[in-house]
Amino acid sequence: MSAMKNAALYLVQMLDSVDAIREFTGGDPDTYRGSRLIRDAVHRNLEIIGEAAKRCPDTVRAQFPGIPWKGMAGLRDVLIHDYDAVDPEEVVPVLTEHLPALRPLLIAALAGLGVDENQLR
């Protein structure tokens, strides 16, 4: 599989996880705060976003500098390695600000690679 096709798959995985988090929480931070099950599901999907960001080729990351690649990868590392120190209140801005802003960036990156997001879902 070509590097660009892999990159497109990673971007779709990230987009799917953004959408899953929205589905789990309804965009409401209190839903996230109020349920361990939902927090765990959100954290898992944030891990997927970060891992997919790490796997995107450097050329693609350079092509779309507006996507917060390092921030997503860094959050993944915290969730994986420092899971016992994660403060849910520190995740709330990710849910309310960063993910809503990320979604259109991912769609634009897919379009920039010549891929319709629905082709890979």
- From the candidates 39, 61, 81, 121, which is the catalytic residue? 81
Number of folded domains in the chain? 1
121: CB partners within 8 A, 6+ apart: 12, 16
The token pair that represents 16 in the structure block = 């799917």
Residue 56 DSSP code: S
Residue 120 DSSP code: G
The pLDDT of residue 116 is: 77
Across the range 84-102, mean pLDDT stands at 95
- From the candidates 36, 76, 98, 103, which is the catalytic residue? 76
The token pair that represents 52 in the structure block = 């997919």
98 is catalytic: no
The pLDDT of residue 118 is: 72
Domain span including residue 12: 3-120
76 is catalytic: yes
The pLDDT of residue 115 is: 87
- pLDDT of residue 117 exceeding 90, the answer is no
CA distances from 50 to 18, 32, 85, 110, 112 (A): 11, 19, 18, 17, 21
What CA–CA distance (Å, rounded) separates 74 from 89? 17
Share of the chain above pLDDT 70, in %: 93
How confident is the model over 30-52, as pLDDT tens digits? Answer: 999 999 999 999 999 999 999 99
Q: What is the pTM of this model?
A: 0.92
What CA–CA distance (Å, rounded) separates 71 from 37? 24
